[in-house]
Structure 1
Amino acid sequence: AAVSRSRKSISDLMDIRPDYANLQTEGGTVKVSPDEVKAGDVIIVKPGEKVPLDGKVRAGKSLVDTSALTGESVPREAAPGAEVLSGFVNKNGVLEVEVDKEYSESTVSKILDLVQNASSRKAKTENFITKFAKYYTPFVVIVALLLAFVPPLIISGAMLSDWVYRALVFLVISCPCALVVSIPLGFFGGIGAASKAGILVKGGNYLEALNDVKYAVFDKTGTLTKGEFAVVKLSPAGPVKEDELLEYAALAEHFSGHPIAESIRVAYGKEVQADRIKDYSETAGFGVRAVVDGAVILAGNAKLMKKAGIQYQEEGEIGTVVYVAAGDTFIGSIVIADEIKEDAKRAISALKKVGIKKTVMLTGDAKESGAAVGAELSIDEVHAELLPQHKVDRIEEFDKQKLPKEKLLFAGDGINDTPVLARADIGVAMGGLGSDAAVEAADIVIMTDQPSKIAEAINIAKRTRTIVWQNIIFALGVKGVFLILGAFGIATMWEAVFSDVGVTLLAVLNAMRVLKVKEM
């Protein structure tokens, strides 16, 4: 019961399963179950709805939120010819999608299936007590019976009562209380110590398994990075200053609902005077145009600058770049990117110190973004532009590379990470901002969202194992000595009680040392 873990049913993932599809028929649009839609059918996806099946956009333009599948925070543009996957959320426009896969073959269906099946393939940590008791208990009972009845039969003058007494002393000494009480208590102490540090370990077997972790695999967005886009660089051009560039951009983006526009407004931090803005228009895939104080302000990507015939200075920084022009003059660029968590670098170096052989990052983000984060954090391998099923494939590859006793740990935070969390030997979820499904699928939850806590959890696990083995060796050593003394009639029932109850109390006191944790 101490090491078993209860999971909620797969219904925790239902927030990515679409409830219905708007099927286009000759008589109009009909709301049907996604299971009823066939390949080649056309469905309508309205603003705010989930895309129910995989397909290609036939008509309409919109931004789609892909974060549930890819972990990427910035919405993608969906235009005619673009591929959309089930689980995406349509943000603003109406999309007409031609379905190319039935629901059973769709991305969302595959994710749900992966989670259902992944847990059954997880490595099980063997429980020492169960294995030990299987042989130890029948062995000592048989020895005690032989000790009570064989000597009186073969030794002349031997009293049955004396040998029964010796056998009872032997049984009391052999009682494995010290092991049965102190070993689970050691693991509970380790779990308690971890919880003090903001780490929720769901069972003693996962704490034990942390000792053998040699591969640490991470999701990027929300795990190593904050998952929130923010202005990271302002590059004004000409006589324009940084605060002026940001003010013009904030005014131009004032009416936009795009997350990029929101991050610019947050960085500006002041109230925008809307009466200064006239003639606002937004072009999907390009950017915005607004007349501010009588001057035309353009804010958008490089395509917008080229379309307007404005000479601009290309930004080399990794991230989403917003170029800003006033009139026909380029006045600067703003780089918006997902910020790396403060302790992410410390987390990777700490893991290498505790004996991790390889650190890997798997992300649904673009290769450039993934490579930049990987380089900054000194991660050994980076694999980008992955869907959830591809992440599971990568985990399977690493699983084949590791030695039989080695364990693989995966840390993630989103619904898209759930299949991988379930498949890894040890799944670690970021609990503060992570999705409910990820928290449920994980074996360990970091409540503070700090990746450096993983190395701290490994240190707690190593300390717990040391103390548990101290108790095992101490208990078996003392019992071994007293069992021999008891068999020869030297040890009385008093010594037997000490070797049982006394050793148990000493082992319990030693196990309580686990609770004292030094912060990293």
Structure 2
Amino acid sequence: MITKAKNLKQSKGNARISKTAMASINNTRKINNSNKKYALKKQCTSEAKKTAGLIAAGKDTTNAIKSNDNISERNSSDFYKKKLILEGLCCANCAAKIERESRSISGVKEASINFISKELTIEIMRKENEKRIVEDIERIVNRVEPDVKVISDIKNKKHSHGHSHEGEEEELDKNELFRLGIGAAIFGIACAFSFSATVEFILYFVSYILIGGEVVLRALKNISKGQVFDENFLMGIATVGAFAIRQYPEAVAVMLFYQVGEFFQDIAVNRSRKSISELMNIRPDFANVKNGILIKKVSPEDVNIGDIIVVKPGEKVPLDGKIIDGKSMVDTSALTGESVPREVRNGDNVLAGFINKNGLLNVKVTKEFSESTVAKILDLVQNASSKKAPTENFITKFARYYTPFVVISAAALAFIPPLVISGASFSEWIYRALVFLVVSCPCALVISIPLSFFGGIGGASRNGILVKGGNYLEALNDVDIVVFDKTGTLTKGVFKVTEIKPKNNLTKDQLLQYAAFAESYSNHPIAASILKAYGKEINKSEIKSYEEIPGQGIKVRLKDKEILAGNIKMVEKQNISYDKIQSLGTIVYVVIDRQYAGYIIISDEVKEDSAKAIKALKLVGIKKTVMLTGDNKVVAAKVGEDLGLDEIYSELLPDQKVERVEILDKQKSAKGKLIFVGDGINDAPVLARADIGIAMGGVGSDAAIEAADVVIMTDEPSKIVSAIKIAKRTKSIVMQNIVFALGVKIVILILGAFGIATMWEAVFGDVGVALIAVLNAMRAMKMEKM
């Protein structure tokens, strides 16, 4: 089972259960769970400080509960992440060696290579160690792959000297093709015409040097540095051995086939890199900043909060902001996966990455680019490969032992049979051993498996689903139980006051006014609906004190009156008599100076997509669907019945939700996983406890993007089904590659041992299989709407 560890970097407030007011301004907020021994606690003196405090508290919580999965973290004061570009990295085996050796450097907590983007991410214990650690990594890279250049400044991949190296790489490709062409021509001449033995040897030898000389040279360099078991060594010793036993044509042909296969494999990998980059090509290139009547084109990073930017038709919105002038249709598909354009006008928020279709928009910037939605999305997708799936880790370990095992077996095959079998010749068995060596390289697996997971993550992002790592994508294959929050997840979370019932000679307007003052500091949808219904400015200076009672409600001192606003638990806890109401809406009870003053009913609607999602989850194999809510039993039962949920638990406090999830967690199978689906803002403790936390409606919500393992960028619960289908398809492609690659290699190893397979088949088992596996892995990127 994957140990769960959640990223709670931002949380706008604790869950407000049913009618409870949300965040305390002057008082400590606290959520305790004795079983998991974590807490969120922060003293705040203003609404802004409250948010910042809870972000810090969320980080502390994360560090307290994280454990041994491959995304474990320490407190940010103890380590930070550093990224390096390994320009020219093209060998997956070498990448694995660099990653392994970098991880063992003193002061490095974790190291992970993204072979697709050629990025090495290291977690450094203390910043003062950075220079030494980077120098150590440069030495490792120079030893393992001398042609690879380490670039530490990666604000952009064009480096400080202001240009990219794409042209240089194309030039190198042309030179290599020319060299291979000349070598192949000489080889063809040697095969087509009859020459003396000496001339024939010279022709084959020259063609071999032109075609495979660099492979042998790299093998010798690596051997001198202690790097023995790599593809250069395997191909070098195999073809040199063929020369030694006078199999000249086969030695040259095998090296030519290998080099051509490697060339096409590189093309396939580079094309897959480009395809993944295009999937996330949502980064805006510039912003039109308005200064009076002048408009200046600048980098999005240079725009400040409060600046006015102009977005012309056809341009990307460069930063998050609010429209102050203009009306248009915007394409949100790059962020949400939705193809239908959305209409925006004055007062609406727009996000970086949206594409303006037809109107001219003036937008006031509300976030710096580094904090914009698109920047966070790009960071999540680009860093997803650092959280490797168990299958990836297994293949990495397997490759480490597989190649030495085959080399030792080849040595035994070359020398033992001629010594024990009468009439057996060394040349025959050495040839069979050479077949073993050629087929043993595990590149097909080492390249294609990470590529498959990265492609699956990229395909999911195109569907508006952000998966934070291959480990979570693979875990989605084994989900047994899906647990939903209600408000904002299965329901729209758009509350509306539908009934006001005052008591004790109060008017409806008076009761609504008292409730509005009580809710004035809360940003919960219920509070927002009351404030919207009140429709007047709140003079907060009249509020003398403000206190949230977790899971119950809010108590404020308004001038000389004490006002309580909350749910049924609040009035019962205060021993106040009240009218028991049975309603499908949410009921907010109001108490003034310990006298029951009436109630307000607020209604929410179930999303049109929710019933479809629950039904589809059953069809993909989910065994149980559950809803947890703080709302009353009547409302919860009605919603659960309409949607066809298996179990409904209502009137729960935050810690009770965690306890219920722990009970449900024991009901899953041995390898099964439990998902909790919430809105990414509330229920942080439950997101932390579940195997996989999914946040709904991530567009525009920093907390949603930061808090969960999977973020659904729209409000559609059915996207959870899409995520599971994408995960299953990705896993299917991964298993196809594993079975195909190992199957072909094992067959050729067996046939080679019996003298049936030649080096031609062996090279196909190495390069050919790797190429096919890479092409198959590329299918994971092409996830259609699911």
CA-CA distance at 1:405 after TM superposition:
1.2
Q: Deviations for 1:393-429, whole angstroms, at most 9, x for unmatched residues?
A: 2221112122211111111224442222222111112
- Distance in structure 1 (CA, Å) of the matches to 2:663 and 2:70: 15
Is 1:362 the counterpart of 2:628? The answer is yes
CA-CA distance at 1:159 after TM superposition:
4.3
The 3 A distance-change label for structure 1 pair 185 and 75 is same
CA-CA distance at 1:134 after TM superposition:
5.8
1:428 equivalent in structure 2? 694
Q: Deviations for 1:218-240, whole angstroms, at most 9, x for unmatched residues?
A: 12222222333125x5899xxxx
- Residue number among 88, 100, 123 corresponding to 2:23 in the alignment: 88
TM-score with structure 1 setting the length: 0.63
1:116 equivalent in structure 2? 63
Is 1:404 the counterpart of 2:679? The answer is no
2:586 equivalent in structure 1? 319
1:484 equivalent in structure 2? 750
Contact 2:399–2:446 (8 Å) recurs in 1? no
- Distance in structure 1 (CA, Å) of the matches to 2:500 and 2:589: 10
2:16 equivalent in structure 1? 71
For structure 2, list consecutive stretches of 5 or more residues without a partner in the other structure: 43-56, 72-388, 502-506, 521-525, 538-558, 566-570, 572-578, 591-598
- Distance in structure 1 (CA, Å) of the matches to 2:510 and 2:651: 34
Pairwise mapping of residues 136-175 of structure 1 onto structure 2 (< 5 A)? Answer: 136-156=402-422, 158-175=424-441
CA-CA distance at 1:382 after TM superposition:
1.9
- Distance in structure 1 (CA, Å) of the matches to 2:764 and 2:3: 33
- Distance in structure 1 (CA, Å) of the matches to 2:760 and 2:612: 54
Pairwise mapping of residues 185-196 of structure 1 onto structure 2 (< 5 A)? Answer: 185-196=451-462
CA-CA distance at 1:217 after TM superposition:
0.7
Is 1:203 the counterpart of 2:469? The answer is yes
The 3 A distance-change label for structure 1 pair 161 and 431 is farther
Contact 2:637–2:648 (8 Å) recurs in 1? yes
2:595 equivalent in structure 1? none
Is 1:500 the counterpart of 2:432? The answer is no
Is 1:516 the counterpart of 2:779? The answer is no
TM-score with structure 2 setting the length: 0.43
Pairwise mapping of residues 199-278 of structure 1 onto structure 2 (< 5 A)? Answer: 199-231=465-497, 263=529
Pairwise mapping of residues 98-137 of structure 1 onto structure 2 (< 5 A)? Answer: 108-109=40-41, 115-120=62-67, 126-127=390-391, 128-130=394-396, 132-133=398-399, 136-137=402-403
- Residue number among 419, 434, 458 corresponding to 2:685 in the alignment: 419
- Distance in structure 2 (CA, Å) of the matches to 1:356 and 1:88: 35
Q: Deviations for 1:260-293, whole angstroms, at most 9, x for unmatched residues?
A: 7964786899x99xxxxxxxx9987699xxxxxx
1:178 equivalent in structure 2? 444
Q: Which amino acid aligns with 1:88?
A: A
- SS of the residue 1:225 aligns to: coil
1:83 equivalent in structure 2? none
RMSD over aligned CA atoms reads: 4.4
Pairwise mapping of residues 438-453 of structure 1 onto structure 2 (< 5 A)? Answer: 439-453=705-719
For structure 1, list consecutive stretches of 5 or more residues without a partner in the other structure: 17-67, 77-86, 237-247, 273-280, 288-302, 304-311, 324-332
Contact 2:5–2:688 (8 Å) recurs in 1? no
The 3 A distance-change label for structure 1 pair 134 and 172 is same
Q: Which amino acid aligns with 2:24?
A: V
Contact 2:5–2:69 (8 Å) recurs in 1? no
Is 1:377 the counterpart of 2:312? The answer is no
- SS of the residue 1:227 aligns to: coil
- SS of the residue 1:489 aligns to: coil
Q: Which amino acid aligns with 2:767?
A: V
- Which has the larger displacement, 442-451 or 135-144? 135-144
The 3 A distance-change label for structure 1 pair 364 and 251 is closer
Is 1:394 the counterpart of 2:660? The answer is yes
- Which has the larger displacement, 399-408 or 507-516? 507-516
- Distance in structure 1 (CA, Å) of the matches to 2:70 and 2:664: 14
Pairwise mapping of residues 288-299 of structure 1 onto structure 2 (< 5 A)? Answer: none
1:469 equivalent in structure 2? 735
The 3 A distance-change label for structure 1 pair 345 and 71 is farther
- Which has the larger displacement, 166-175 or 147-156? 147-156
CA-CA distance at 1:366 after TM superposition:
3.5
